[in-house]
Each structure stands twice: as structure tokens, then as C-alpha cells.
Structure 1
Amino acid sequence: MSQNTPPEKLTGDLTIGKPIDEAAGLTAIYKSVEHVLNGTGPARGWKALIKLNQKDGYDCPSCAWPDPDGHRSSIGEYCESGAKAVADEIMTKHTASPVLFQRYSVAELLEKTDLWLGQQGRLTQPMVLREGATHYVAISWEEAFGLIAGELNALASPDEAVFYTSGRTSNEAAFLYQLFVRMFGTNNLPDCSNMCHESTGVSLSQTIGLGKASVKYDDYEKADVIMIIGQNPDTNAPRMLTPLEQAKRNGAKIIAVNPLHETGLLAFKYPQSPRDMLLGGQKLTDVFLQVRINTDLALLKAMCKLLMEEEKKAPGKVLDQAFIEAYTAGYDAFVQDLDTYNINDLAAQCGLSMAQIQEAVDLFKFTPKLIICWAMGLTQHRNAVETINEVINLLLLKGSIGIEGGGASPIRGHSNVQGDRTMGIWEKPKPEFLDALKRTFNFEPPRKNGYDTVAAVKAMHEGKAKVFFGMGGNFALAVSDTNYTAEALKKCKLTVHVSTKLNRSHLIHGETALILPCLGRSDHDMQASGEQFVSCESTTGVVAQSQGVLDPISPYLKSEPAIIAELAKATLQEKSTVDWDGLVADYDRIRDLIEQVVPGFEQYNQKVRQPGGFYIPNGPRVREFKTKDGKAHFTINTPTQHTLQPDELLLMTIRSHDQFNTTVYGNDDRYRGIYNERRVVFMNPADIAKLGLQEKQVVDIHSQYQGQQRTAHRFVIVPYDIPVGCAAAYFPETNVLIPIDSVAEKSHTPTSKSIVVNVTPTVEEKAVV
């Protein structure tokens, strides 16, 4: 085992079953309840679940899927993934108290699996690992803040510090965090957006003037056609299945584009529907296009060509020429470039027949009510920005942006990752945002762009950054090139993590390391003026309040705003005139300041108290495109063709059904028929035979990049319905294969979904028995 990666041991108990053909159902209810009861009592568990995603409750710490604008189920407005996330947060049967760290050294904890680490429960006190020590020990909050401030103020430049943010951070905490960091003097504010939807932000900002979804929640139920491309809703955003089911009942057609047959793209059995439970789930997908990995751009371009041909057959009935003329630019150049492509070549590239693509196009050729939604299946390739550009080309041809039932719908991953960016968590802040900070707080913010996530890792590795501060997340495992990232963190003078639970990033540390335990979303947040609430932004741009309902597990926990305020006071001292104590005493004061800085948040405190929150302004939603010329832009994009050697495969990383991002809830992936193991690689049976391998054989996976080989050891082969030449395996176990320099053009997002690999038998093991 590498000292930097999760243990490479196999359970030896892999069971391969048949993939399930319906998502959710009674099993999802059972698994949700089981996970909750395994960690806490029924009274605490019920109280947490019944208030999850309710208008008078708290926001799910899992995905960013929006809550219904109107009625919400009083039985349960959550999914299996959300229930598991909450169960981990409200756990009382175990705690990661100082006793745990007395019992285990850091070296011993590194030998544990990520599942085991997460099962130890909530962190209860600030912990420090001194230089040269083997064990974390308890430390007071005052001493912890003094230690961090001392290291920060000893740096030769503020740019020698990196301040990372995960998507769990609330709007209020994110705003205070970026304010402190910029008052300290740097824009080194990388965040998890850099690793997931940065490609979306870059593309949409350039083409339609805003890097966010142009749809509202209700648009799904009003759509005629929904295309789900590069996204697996049953595992990554299970509550999305509810509006998809309603759309189907309203007559909508669904096109699914994916290298894998995912359960949630097939059928959904709504657990709260007697009809579904008695008669079976709703079939979702009408046309399934099983593309080869990273050929989505070729497919989209083929669709555009077919639309052009259909327009010639029925002039004025297929393309929205009035919209194109009034609202777009670049159409003629786009058409001219499109004419250079052979549609049969495009179809062959993505591994589909012309008939399959034509069948999909026939569903939406005569309607503008088309929604296209996507996630990391599009964003994590070298050509990711161009692929999303082509999504917009298709929508612009149809006039599908700025109408009910149509639009662009990126599906964000973490619960407030979009809100963090809105609040200013960005390494490339816009001048107008910095100007607003200057006016409001009377200081000169730094203007130089900071480090994004990949650049931050490189800076730490090269000794240019010496302090790492993480506001949530599991940085060491979330980033690509796991060993390189670990080496970078270990070169720091100080690493600090604000966390709710123990994870591997706490064990891959600088000379000195701190763990600062914070309140979770479900916890009561009591401050000087009384109980507080925070707010979060969903993937459709709704900002709503979130108020915890449970007593915290430990009296030593602090809220994220309180942690940031205390750190700012200790570090900035007399350099700052901000009343940090006053802001923490009453979060309304934070929101008053946000209102002064962030456009669209006028009357923030009043609007966020409205049941269900409020939509923030969205130009594309009303056909206002804030590009340089005020137009939505057609773009010219070139499909990438992967030329593989006979022994090579193109591998994409995926989630199991028993995880959320780097948090592992169990070793099963029941939707794909995998039980008791995570170290598996899905391969086409023809590729297994071609490479002289066999089912359940234990193999190593290698990637080659610029003369260097990276290896993920001990994976078990699972035959699966995936295109020839393609493979899939779970992250974060396979993040070790992704070179730190292999990133998407323009967005610098790691290329986690297209890794050229070869697979060889593990020398000391032949097969799992």
C-alpha cells in the first residue's frame, strides 16, 4: 500500500449480482432507515429526517438538487443519499473524541479504510498534531487560532497560503471566509467547483453570460423532452427522479446519453406513491444512447446536423429562426463549420447508428421545450468546455433558452457549491465584486488572480504555498494525482481542516496539523442574540434558509462563521475594522453586508425568510445575455478522437450507490449489482477476453502520462455492459491514476472521466476466491 492512498486491500467477499432495473422503492426506504438507526436512536433520527429539506427545516448536506417550489412531502422530502448523509452527521453511538486519537496513531489510522474512518462519528474537540508527534491531541480553541494566526503572519507573502472551500459551506460562512482571506491579502480561494462544474461555468459564461442553470424546478414538469447526458441521477441526485417521473406522466420524452445503463435512467419507483408500489415504477427513458466515453461532442454535433436537415424538409418548423436572429451571434460561422462534418463519421465516432440518433432527434425536432441536463460525465474531459458549448449550440438552434419547459440545466454536486461561488469564493474574482468589497469595507482587495485547485497543489508541491486551510471537504482524496497531492500537503508548514467528521485528509498533513470541529447543518446554532439560521443556493438558483433542529453532539463545536470570525480577529487584529463579534452574534448582520456587495440580494433578510426562499436574478432565464455584445453565442467546437493502442482502454471514474463524493457509506453498489467491494473495474466482456483476462481476476490499472506511470493496485474485474474500449471504476480509489497536469482546456478541471489505461494481472494474486 502507498502511504498516501487508501488501503489497497480487497475484502475477498465480492458478490456480483444482476443490475437493478428500478431505482428507489421499498429497498431505498429500508436502507435509509437502517443507516440512521445504526448511528443514532429513532427519536433523534426521526426528528432529523422529518425536517430535512422542509421550508422550516434545514438543507440537505448532500447534493444541490432544488427543493420543490410549492408543496413538499410531509412524510419525507429526501432521498436515500441524503438520509445517509444526515445519518452520518447526527451519529451518537460513536464519536471521534480525543480518546480515539489517543488509541490510534496517525500511522495506524492511515491503515484504516475510508469507510471505517467515517464510521467513527462526529469530531468533538479541536485537535493538533505537533511537528514530529505521532498522535493528535486536544487543543483549546484560543491556542488553535493563535497557532494559525502565527503561521499566517509569518509568511513572506499572503500568497503563500491557500484557503480551500467545499460545497457544504453556507452563504454566510462563505462570505465571511472570502472577506477574511482578501483582507489578509490573497485571492487563493480554490474550491470544489474547480474539480466538478468549472467547465460548465466557463462555457455558460462565454456563451449565454451566466454560469448557472437557466431553468426553474417547475420547468422539468413542463418540458416536452429532457435529455440527460453524462449524468446518473439515481446515485448522484436521486430526488431528481421525482420531477422526471412527473414529466413522464405529463407526456414528456426522456433521452438518456451515457456509456453505462444506469438504473435511474431506466425506471423509478416513487416510495411515497401507492400506484408505483403496487403496479411498478415509471419507465423513464424513451431513447437510450450508449455512447463511447467522451464522444458526446460528436453526438451533439450529429444532432445539430440532423436538425439542419429537418429544417430543410419543414422550413420554419424545426429551428427557431426568430430567436436566432434576435438573440444570438455566430450562427453563420457555426453552420459553415457544421457543413464540413460527415454525419456518418460522427455517428461512428460515438458508437451509434444513424437510426439511433435520428430517433432521438425526432423527439424534439418540432418542440422548443427541450431541457438538457448534464454533470461530470461532460465536465471532466480535456474538451469539456467545448462539449458544453455544443450543448448550448443545440439549445440555441431550438430557441430553448428563456422559455417555460426549456433550457440548460447543469446538475451541481455538493449542496451549496453554487452559493459559495455567488458569495465570492473564487480565485478569479470579477473587478466589480472587488470594487464592492472596497466600498463596503474600506480596504483594497488583492487584484491578482489566485490559485485554482490544481495550481494550489502544484504551489504546495513546489514550496510556493506553505499553509493550507480547508473549509470542509476531503481535499487529499478529492483532488487528482493522489500521491502527488499528498506529497504537496506534506510539504506545508501547517495544514488545517474545518470538519464534522474524520477523513483521510486529516492524516496526510503538514509539519503541524489542526482539525477544527464545526457544527453540521442539522445542529442548532446558538449565538449571542439567539438561535441562528444560514442560507444555501440550489442548482436552480433558489436561496433558502437552513436551520438546524438537533442539539450538537459536543459543547466544543463552533459554527463555521464563528470559526472564521475568530481566525480573522487573531490574524488581522488592528488591520481590520470589521465587527467580527457582532456579525457572529447575529447572522442577519452578515446578510445585510452580503446585500451591499452581491447583486440580486436586495432585502436579503426579508426574502430569505419567505417559505421556500427566493430565486436570484438569472439573465438567460429571461433572454438577457450578459456577454460583451448582449447576445447568446454559437461556437465552433471540434470533437476529440481517442486513438488507443491494442492493450489500452479509456477509463472513467464513477460513484458507487453507497457513497457521496469521497464519503463512503458502505461497500455495496446494489444498482449495478456489486456487493461487499469497492475496488472493482467494469469492463466489456470482449475486452476482458481480448486482453487474456477473466472475470474476478485481480488486476492493476496503469496510466501513462509524459513518461510517468501511475498505478492503482488490486482491482477486481467485473464484466459489464459498457462500450468496447471503455472501462469504469470508483473514485477516489482511482484518482491516483489522473496526472495533476491532465486538465480540461480553459477550466483546468481534472480529466477524471477520460483516463487512458492498461490493465495487467496483479503479480501476487490471481483471482478473488
Structure 2
Amino acid sequence: GLTQHEHGVDTVREVVNLLLLRGNLGREGAGPSPVRGHSNVQGNRTCGIDHRPTDAFLDRLTDACGITPPREHGLDTVGTIKAMRRGEVKVFVAMGGNFAMAAPDTPATFAALRSCDLTVQVSTKLNRSHLVHGAGALILPCLGRTEKDHQRKGVQSTSVEDSMSMVHLSIGMKRPASPHLLSEPAIVAGMARAALPGSATPWHWYIEDYDRIRDTMAKALDGFEDFNRRVRLPLGFRIRQPARELVFLTPSGRAEFSAAALPDVVPAAGTLALGTMRSHDQWNTTVYSDNDRYRGIENLRTLVFMNRADMRERGITDLGPVDITSTAKDGSRRRLDGYLAVPYDIPRGCAAGYMPEMNVLCALGDFSTQSDQPIMKHVEVTIVPAA
């Protein structure tokens, strides 16, 4: 919620400033809990999945794997979509996810994907991204984390990191949905062998026993020494967080306050700040039902939550149909028509609705210059009774 704003980084820093003033850092149960992602998204980042890897990491990767990785930076989500539209990205390979629906500016994202020569989706189940594809398209079904992964050396486990920086093993227990399903590591290794048949990297050897992959990770990743032993401890192991131990990686060696200029955030007359969000019966872009137990909603998603006073001011009735128009920084506009206005206990000047449906209102060019995070929690909109 904090990061998907134009000034999200400054906001997080101000939260830390408050905790510093109170002396919360280093006190058990009182410090910040910086969740960098869930469902092993955080673990991916820890293990080097980063479009801007550090030179130190690339040096260790070179030594551990005997390769020469590229040093130029890659692309994030917004950068990838823009590069597709410019014709600079022609092949897109997605390791899971639902890129077409999760990204901002849905029509622009769809057009970008359709401009590719080839799109590849490695997936556990079907989703909308399989229908929004390039000139050529592949769907590669893979094992889910709950399914047994049989390789030459037996049933394999994968390592994951939870939101509290604990690393442990995940072992599937269910019979695979099909005997033909491959694991994600096996698919990646297969693509690598096909693309680089002369590679010195022992792809097949790695897939026989995932411990071999972890042994290589132990060499490439700081803090993962003795990986295979530590990850098999009863609770796994915790990645060190220096600030938790009152070790501050700053020039002074002490905790440092930060300052930020106050931005001009006075909204234009008649506009509301719209935030996109998930319902209770939703996991990212996967919508299990049209109910939202959190907010007392049944069988409805095409809605916008509004403050009653804002509704009265605009002549909007309870559950009345409305048209929503967003205005991007460049002046371009995007619309959603025929949504239903639901009165809710939300601050005046604010509104909210469900993603991914409302991603169409989020402009591709509107993102935080501090983090490149698309602005999806503060979209400037006007809401009026439906024409």
C-alpha cells in the first residue's frame, strides 16, 4: 500500500524516522517488518533475480558458475512493456504469473504483448495471459509446489523464503496431475540445453539433484554458506537483518534520519484519489469468487467504494451506476463505465476498487521516480453518475 505511490519511498522513510524517534529499532516486537514480497517473491530477490544486480553479486556469480554474465541493467515491468512497444523486446518468457492482467494500463500491456514475435508462459494453471500473446505462443505446464517432483536422485525439494526472511524447504506431497509435467528447474534447464548445446554448464546434472543447485547458490549468494545443511534445520534458517542487531550499513555506522521535501499533493477540484486493491476471495489476479467478506460485498466486483459525502456532492445514489475517468500526468484519460457506487467508511476525497479490473485506469507512464513502481494506490479520477 505504501509503495504504490509516487512518493512511496519517502513515505517508507518517514515511517522509519518515526520508529527511530521512538527507539523501536532493535527492540523485539517493536521494529519495522519490511515485507519485500510473499510466496517466495522475497526469496527470488534474495537469490539475485534483479534487473539491476550489483557488481559484487555478478562477481560471485562469475566465480560460482564459470560464466560471464552481462553487466548492463535489464528492464522492470514498465520498462519491459515500453520496450515491447518500441519493438526492442520480441521474446517474452514468463515464469508463472499473469503478466497481462497484473500490469498497469491493460490495453497498452495487451498491445505490447501482441507485438512480440514469441511469448512463452510456464504455468500451473490457465489464465488470461495465455490469450494475450505474440505471433507465436507456447504454454508450458509445470509442476505446482504441492506436487511431487521426481528426478533421478529421488523426490526433490525447493528452497523458499517467507516474508520474515526465514529460508526453508518445500516438498510436494501430491501425485502430479500428469506424468508428463516437468518442474520449473527442468524446463529452464531444457531451454538452456536447446539454446546453448555447447554450454559447459552441466544443466542435466543440476536437475538430477537440486542439492547441487543449492551448493552453487551457496557460492554465489552472501549469507547462504553451508546452504544444504542449514536449510534442513527444523525451522530452516533466518537471513541476517543487520538493523535488527543494531548494525547500520551507513557512512556513520549509526542509524540515520532522512528528510524529504513536501510534495504538492493538493488534488484538482472535483477529483478523487483512487486506490486499487484485492478482495477477500482473491489471490493476486486469481479471483475465486465475486464475494468480499472483508467489506460485506456479495456477488459484485464492478464497483467503486466511495465516501457518502462525496457521493451526495456528485448526485450519486447508493449502488447507482457511475462512470470513472482517470487523468494521467501527461493529460491522457482512461475510462471505466457502468460501475456501481458503494457507500463505505473511506476518507473523503478517496475511492477504491478491485484490481485487475481497475488496472485499465492506471497509466503506464505514471510510476514512482524513486522506485519505478507503478502508481496504483493514488490514481486521480473523476466519478460521475452514468450517462
TM-score surpassing 0.5?
yes
Counterpart in the other structure of 1:619 = 242
Amino acid in the other structure paired with 1:458: K
Q: Does 1:540 align with 2:164?
A: yes
Counterpart in the other structure of 2:278 = 655
Counterpart in the other structure of 2:25 = 401
Counterpart in the other structure of 2:65 = 441
Q: Distance in 1 between matches of 2:310 and 2:89?
A: 44
Cα pair 2:7 2:370 within 8 Å, conserved: no
Q: Distance in 1 between matches of 2:88 and 2:255?
A: 40
Counterpart in the other structure of 1:702 = 325
Q: Distance in 2 between matches of 1:452 and 1:591?
A: 26
Cα pair 2:65 2:216 within 8 Å, conserved: no
Q: Secondary structure at the match of 2:32?
A: strand
The superposition leaves residues 411-456 of structure 1 with CA deviations (integer Å, 9 ceiling, x where unpaired) of 3443101100111100000111100111122222111111111111
Structure 1 pair 591/457, CA: closer, same or farther in 2 (3 Å)?
same
Q: How far 1:745 moved relative to its partner?
A: 2.4
Amino acid in the other structure paired with 2:272: L
Cα pair 1:680 1:729 within 8 Å, conserved: yes
Q: Does 1:686 align with 2:309?
A: yes
Q: Distance in 1 between matches of 2:181 and 2:217?
A: 25
Counterpart in the other structure of 1:22 = none
CA RMSD between the two structures: 1.3
Q: Does 1:380 align with 2:4?
A: yes
Q: Secondary structure at the match of 1:675?
A: coil
The superposition leaves residues 337-393 of structure 1 with CA deviations (integer Å, 9 ceiling, x where unpaired) of xxxxxxxxxxxxxxxxxxxxxxxxxxxxxxxxxxxxxxxx21100000000011111
Q: How far 1:602 moved relative to its partner?
A: 1.1
Structure 1 pair 412/664, CA: closer, same or farther in 2 (3 Å)?
farther
Amino acid in the other structure paired with 2:14: E
Q: Secondary structure at the match of 2:243?
A: helix
Q: Does 1:727 align with 2:351?
A: yes
Cα pair 1:712 1:733 within 8 Å, conserved: no
Cα pair 2:315 2:385 within 8 Å, conserved: no
Counterpart in the other structure of 1:592 = 215
Q: Distance in 2 between matches of 1:521 and 1:550?
A: 9
Counterpart in the other structure of 2:254 = 631
Counterpart in the other structure of 2:94 = 470
Correspondence for 1:502 among 123, 126, 129? 126
Q: Distance in 2 between matches of 1:571 and 1:394?
A: 52
Q: Distance in 1 between matches of 2:384 and 2:179?
A: 52
Cα pair 1:384 1:745 within 8 Å, conserved: no
Q: Structure 1 unaligned runs (5+)?
A: 1-376, 764-769
Q: Distance in 2 between matches of 1:646 and 1:726?
A: 13
Q: How far 1:642 moved relative to its partner?
A: 2.8
Counterpart in the other structure of 1:416 = 40
Counterpart in the other structure of 1:460 = 84
Amino acid in the other structure paired with 2:273: L
Q: Does 1:489 align with 2:113?
A: yes
Q: Distance in 2 between matches of 1:555 and 1:501?
A: 16
Amino acid in the other structure paired with 2:128: R
Amino acid in the other structure paired with 2:283: F
Q: Distance in 2 between matches of 1:724 and 1:664?
A: 28
Counterpart in the other structure of 1:760 = 384
Counterpart in the other structure of 2:53 = 429
Q: Does 1:603 align with 2:233?
A: no
Cα pair 1:490 1:509 within 8 Å, conserved: yes
Cα pair 1:506 1:515 within 8 Å, conserved: yes
Cα pair 1:390 1:635 within 8 Å, conserved: yes
Q: Does 1:513 align with 2:105?
A: no
Q: How far 1:609 moved relative to its partner?
A: 0.9
Matched positions, count = 386
Q: Does 1:565 align with 2:169?
A: no
Q: Distance in 1 between matches of 2:72 and 2:254?
A: 29
List aligned pairs for 1:739-758, cutoff 5 A. 739-758=363-382
Q: Distance in 2 between matches of 1:631 and 1:745?
A: 27
Q: Distance in 2 between matches of 1:650 and 1:631?
A: 38
Amino acid in the other structure paired with 1:623: L
Q: How far 1:671 moved relative to its partner?
A: 2.1
Q: Distance in 1 between matches of 2:8 and 2:321?
A: 32
Q: Distance in 2 between matches of 1:506 and 1:761?
A: 35
Report the structure number with the largest CA radius of gyration. 1
Amino acid in the other structure paired with 1:513: A
The superposition leaves residues 94-129 of structure 1 with CA deviations (integer Å, 9 ceiling, x where unpaired) of xxxxxxxxxxxxxxxxxxxxxxxxxxxxxxxxxxxx
Cα pair 1:385 1:745 within 8 Å, conserved: no
Q: Distance in 1 between matches of 2:93 and 2:237?
A: 32
Q: Distance in 1 between matches of 2:94 and 2:9?
A: 27
Q: Secondary structure at the match of 1:756?
A: strand
Cα pair 2:38 2:162 within 8 Å, conserved: no
Q: Distance in 2 between matches of 1:629 and 1:598?
A: 26
Cα pair 2:325 2:334 within 8 Å, conserved: yes
List aligned pairs for 1:93-108, cutoff 5 A. none
The superposition leaves residues 584-631 of structure 1 with CA deviations (integer Å, 9 ceiling, x where unpaired) of 000000000000110111111111111121112221111122234433
Q: Distance in 1 between matches of 2:298 and 2:235?
A: 39
Q: How far 1:506 moved relative to its partner?
A: 0.7
Q: How far 1:558 moved relative to its partner?
A: 0.7
